[in-house]
Structure 1
Amino acid sequence: MDYKIIDAHSHLWLRQDTSWNGMPVRTLTNGRSFFLTEEVQMVPPFMIDGVNSAEVFLSNMNYAQVGGAVVVQEFIDGIQNDYLAKVKSDYPERFFVFGMCDYFKPGFYDTAASLIDSGFKGIAIPGHRLILSDGRVNLNSPEMMKMFHLMEDKGVILSLCLAENNLQNGEIKEVIEECPRLKIAIGHFGMVTAPGWEDQIKLALNDNVMIESGGITWLFNKEFYPFNGAVRAIREAIDMVGADKLMWGSDYPRTITAITYKMSYDFILKTNDLTDREKRLFLGENAEKFYGFNNLPDLPYVKNMSE
């Protein structure tokens, strides 16, 4: 396979031990976690200790011939800045990692500034988690805007997942207008299975905004492989904003409880609804340029024992 593959949306953690919206998230055993109100299969059952490490991910990446990966953060996993700094130090050519702040507490600007000073080239905001049962944190609040101006000045990338039904589109449009040089990657493909997802995709009509597909196989899970609805949505998004504005993401490791890691992108390779150029841009070339990956390894195909 001569495609360059880069995963633009993944997660890593050593242990989940946190809470969100007043509800717990705790690592259990056999790949399960207590998630908010119930026990769920958080990662594949062979990850018996619940550790979602860079080394296990690299094994999956090497097998699937994925050269590099972007690691974002989520409140439901706990803040992983210390671990991700080590991941970047240990594997600088394979991973682009995002730092994250506790946006629910005033003073997160100082945390962001410290993360940037320590070498983080990206800051993640799981924006859909900022809407709580007792209120919300606005993306265009004064402290947020101060942080975005700093990121724009320092050339730091923003990873942002937005709530469905366009609840935060007005806020992020204000950010884009005020900080036009801020590079933004919007995740979850605009929450593609929710009404109005096209409006999130169209944010990429702005020069420095990209869309990545992390979680698209989760969103089309009921349909399942080969995710024909996801392919149609990607085709539609290309027609809206252009193939050079979209990036593939897996949302590893949660999505591989249902499918293998390779299955999270090979349905793109096999479809006839996208051109070869569109596949190349979507699967890796756009992410390589946007995140600045260099010296990605050449990963040869290894035959399966079952073949």
Structure 2
Amino acid sequence: MCAVIPAQTLYRTKKYQEVSNMHRRRIDGHVHLIPKREPGWIDPITQYRHDAYGMLRTPLGDRRRLPPYMADSAFEAGTLMEVMEEYGVEKAVLMARLESGVPEAALDAVKRYPGRIAGAVCVEIRREGEAQLQEWHSRGIGIVKFEMRGLNELYGKLEICDPAMMRLFGKAEELGMIVVIDPGPVAFPSYSPEQISTVLHTYPALKLVICHMGLPFYGLREHAGLYEKWRAMIGLGSCSRVWFDVTAMPDLFEEEGYPYSEALTYFKELLDICGPDRVIWGTDIPGTFRRATYSQMIEVFERCDFLDGQDKDKLFYENANQLYFNGENESEFTR
């Protein structure tokens, strides 16, 4: 695996300035906020214990979701804005997880940074989810996210076409909200391109984003059945109401490491289906800071030799701006 280059070093070099094109407008289409908690705090929704140094204790085992140097295990809106300022990122889209306090933090960021932050929420599937969705929409949230792995950990076996889920998709369509689905790993039971296709046919006005490029991984082509399943997922990109965010490469391709050459071959397969108009760049920070710098997550796509300058403008800015910000081209960043 290639060594991770310190961000401050990469940022200052002439080579980085040339490769990254610091004049290109950018929207980070997939970031997370993590409110500050007291070490040992237990989430009343998930029962996960949040400890210092990025550690998360769950019924399925412990995992580190942040780098250990983030001792307070927090990533708040002010920190996100500092990262955006440092790397010339105009706007960001906050992707929620089903965690107490996170939707409120997203809404607060949307209000504090108008025009620069769009926010998504997750709702509790089994507990008045439609009413929750209506309430969040009335407060200015226009995106709802479904993270299938987390939902299955919480509710047990849950399919995308579960009746409770379908009612929420219908409510999102009624409200004009964008639906974001993280389908989970390709081998996961709820990973179902067929069921997402059913959702699209049932709700013909629904706009849908599939996270993390459909979650390919290093060595996927060596697993024929899983590769075909992933190919079916990206095949949904032939529908004009489907977008893919191109995010979390440092996690999905950890074994390969920067500059993620194999990851880019899967990205090329996706582009061959949906073209450059429905792909959205993002980083999935702060979790991806465990394995890459922000600079690297920009540079890997700036180096794509199969994208021209116009394609990169779409990937980095225009597609996300049109979908999540209604094409608004001015913000506090540009004034």
Calculate the TM-score normalised by the size of structure 2. Answer: 0.80
Distance 1:38 1:177 in 2: 38
Q: Count matched residues.
A: 295
| 266 and 225 in structure 1: CA distance in 2 versus 1, 3 angstrom threshold | same
Contact 2:130 2:171 in 1 (8 A): no
Aligned-pair CA distance for 1:3: 1.4
Report the equivalent of 2:115: 93
Supply the AA of the counterpart residue of 2:112.
D
Deviates more, 1:194-203 or 1:250-259: 194-203
Please tell me whether residue 102 in structure 1 is matched to residue 135 in structure 2.
Answer: no
Amino acid paired to 1:94: R
Residue in structure 1 matched with residue 159 of structure 2 by the alignment: 138
Which of 52, 71, 77 is 1:29 aligned to?
52
Match of 2:321 among 263, 272, 288: 288
Alignment equivalent of 2:30, drawn from 4, 9, 25: 9
Counterpart in 1 of 2:70?
Answer: 47
2 CA distance for matches of 1:101 and 1:79? 12
The share of aligned pairs that are identical, in percent, is 22
What residue in structure 2 maps to residue 74 of structure 1?
97
Shift in alpha-carbon separation, 1:119–1:47, aligned structure 2, 3 A: same
What are structure 1's unaligned runs of at least 5 residues?
Answer: 300-307
- Whole-angstrom distance in 2 between the partners of 1:146 and 1:30: 39
Change over 3 Å in CA distance of 1:40–1:129 after alignment to 2: closer
Q: Alpha carbons of 1:91 and 1:84: their partners in 2 closer, same or farther (altered >3 Å)? A: same
- 1:25 CA drift (Å): 2.9
**Counterparts of 1:133 and 1:110 in 2: how far apart (Å)?**
20
Of the three residues 274, 293, 307, the one matched with 1:274 is: 307
2:144 counterpart of 1:123: yes
TM-score of the pair, normalised by structure 1: 0.87
Aligned to 1:18: 43
Per-residue deviation at 1:232? 1.5
| CA separation of 1:33 and 1:142: change in aligned 2, threshold 3 A | closer
Instruction: Give the letter aligned to residue 233 of structure 1.
Output: Y
In 2, the alpha carbon distance for the partners of 1:137 and 1:68 equals: 33
Question: Which residue of structure 1 aligns with residue 82 of structure 2?
Answer: 59
Counterparts in 2 of 1:40 and 1:153: CA distance versus 1, 3 Å: closer
Q: 2:35, 2:101 within 8 Å by CA — same for their partners in 1?
A: no
Would the alpha carbon gap of residues 79 and 168 (structure 1) be closer, same or farther in structure 2, given more than 3 Å must change?
farther
Matched, 1:172 2:196: yes
Cα distance 1:182–1:84, how it changes in 2: closer, same or farther (>3 A)?
same
TM superposition outliers: structure 1 runs of 4+ over 6 Å:
none
1:207 equivalent in structure 2: 240
1:147 paired to 2:172 = no
SS at match of 1:98: strand
RMSD between aligned residues:
2.3
Counterpart in the other structure of 2:255: 222
C-alpha deviation, 1:171, in angstroms = 1.9
Structure 1 residues 118 and 269: CA distance shift in structure 2, 3 A? same
